[in-house]
Structure 1
Amino acid sequence: MQLNRPFATVTPTLDGDVLAVLATSDVTFTITQVQRILTTASGEGIRKVLTRLTAQGVVLHDQVGRTNTYQLNTEHLAAEPIIALSRITATFLNRLERHLEGWGDALKYAAVFGSAATGRMTLDSDIDLLLVRASDPEDRNDNADPDTWDQRVTELGRLVTAWTGNDGRVVEYTQDEIRAAASAGEPLLNDVAREGLTVAGTRAWLNTQLRPIGKTQRNRNA
């Protein structure tokens, strides 16, 4: 699936993209406003979709002067699943957060990065996940031995695929390793710091670990 095009999981047509726009807000939209968001769709195509959805009752149509406006009918029986589908990225991130809560102190940080985080997914895109594991043995409980950790990572990849249909690609670091990689200016960590979506730990903690990236860049610019 494409997290950035949630309705494509049930319909490949423009109808889904238009519904995704209408479901993002309680305000009304004109055809021009919808087209500004759906940059590859024609105004005529959007008009036909809105006319069809209005006939189904799921979209409310009004006319202010010569301007036609459209709004999702939130009282429609289909509104609840439409809104739920439009929020599929948030649902995915929430599921990840809840699942990773059970990993305990052994997991210091986790984030989704790459196309799933930036809204540029295609059907063939992997879902990239960064996991940072504690280096200090005191932060590891009995359930976080190497075998248990590996089993959890394998299960995480399976769940991501089950939830989305996309391959889950997990990149692992220990806390010591991520500091060393940051000192070396690892580009992947720059991407995570700039665009990653945190699902375990805090961004402040990650920034503390990645401070050497900034120092390296300043030294190069000096």
Structure 2
Amino acid sequence: MQFPEPVSSVVPGLHGRVLGVLARTDRPLTGRAVAALLRAPASPSGVQKVLDDLVGNGVVMAEPAGRARLYTLNRDHVAYQAIDQLARLRELLLERIKAEAESWDLPAKAVWLFGSTARGQGGADSDLDLLIVRPDDVDESDPRWLEQVESLTAHASLWSGNSCEVVEYSAREVRELIRHGERLVTELRRDAVPIAGTSPQQTLNRKAG
């Protein structure tokens, strides 16, 4: 999955990127504004050609505004629902991971997304990094626990198309990381996205006892 511009995972090239920008806002945008909001640069002329094509297909609506034209996604078009779903692929993926993690017989203390995908920078070749906090009363070799983690890892890879890498700590080990001021704790405080269980703020800002 192209995490920064998820529509591009299915609609490659500039068409997908432009649709992603328009799907993220209800505000009418000029062609230059659309180009400025792309995560990777594209020429205004290239963006304009894509907009003209999308207008011609009725997917995007254009209205004059002085010498400029303002563009909005046509939310009445039959394609809108599919475009909206594509624009929300990251959120839909996290919802699936959350649903599976919350169904575990041995619940995790926390499941967080971290790394480049949490920062919205991960591309199709990036790993999907999950940090799982194991309860102290669950042994790391417990077959039931291992099966849960392995199942979630496999499903997350299948759902996203990205290799899922899991980093696992017990709650006690997390307290030790906090106590020693490990760099990972700083990175998690800054970037981690909560999926299930306690949030990074709740866990990592707690005094290590």
Which bin holds the TM-score, normalised by the shorter protein?
over 0.9
Equivalent residue for 1:207?
A: 204
Task: State the 1:12 CA deviation.
Answer: 2.1
Letter in 2 for 1:165: G
Distance in 1, Cα, partners of 2:69 & 2:191: 37
TM-score by length of 1: 0.87
Equivalent residue for 1:12?
A: 12
Equivalent residue for 2:89?
A: 88
Equivalent residue for 1:194?
A: 190
The unaligned stretches of length 5 or more in structure 2 are none
TM-score by length of 2: 0.92
Task: State the 1:120 CA deviation.
Answer: 0.9
Q: Match of 1:118, SS?
A: coil
Provide the alpha-carbon RMSD of the alignment.
1.8
1:1-222 aligned at under 5 Å gives the runs 1-38=1-38, 39-103=40-104, 106-136=107-137, 146-203=142-199, 204-209=201-206, 211-212=207-208
- Number of matched pairs: 206
Task: State the 1:126 CA deviation.
Answer: 0.4
Task: State the 1:104 CA deviation.
Answer: 5.0
Letter in 1 for 2:203: L
Q: Match of 2:126, SS?
A: coil
Task: State the 1:105 CA deviation.
Answer: 5.9
Distance in 1, Cα, partners of 2:183 & 2:29: 40
Distance in 1, Cα, partners of 2:29 & 2:162: 33
Task: State the 1:192 CA deviation.
Answer: 1.5
Distance in 2, Cα, partners of 1:122 & 1:26: 26
Deviates more, 1:145-154 or 1:65-74: 145-154
Task: State the 1:145 CA deviation.
Answer: 7.4
Distance in 2, Cα, partners of 1:93 & 1:56: 32
Identity rate, percent: 36
Letter in 1 for 2:31: I
Higher-helix-fraction structure = 1
Q: Match of 1:71, SS?
A: strand
| 4+ long deviations beyond 6 Å | none
Q: Deviations over 1:107-166 (max 9, x none)?
A: 1111000111101112211000000011146xx9xxx97111111111111001100111
Task: State the 1:167 CA deviation.
Answer: 0.7
Letter in 2 for 1:85: L
The unaligned stretches of length 5 or more in structure 1 are 213-222
Deviates more, 1:74-83 or 1:24-33: 24-33
Distance in 1, Cα, partners of 2:147 & 2:106: 16
Bigger Rg, structure 1 or 2: 1
Q: Match of 1:102, SS?
A: coil
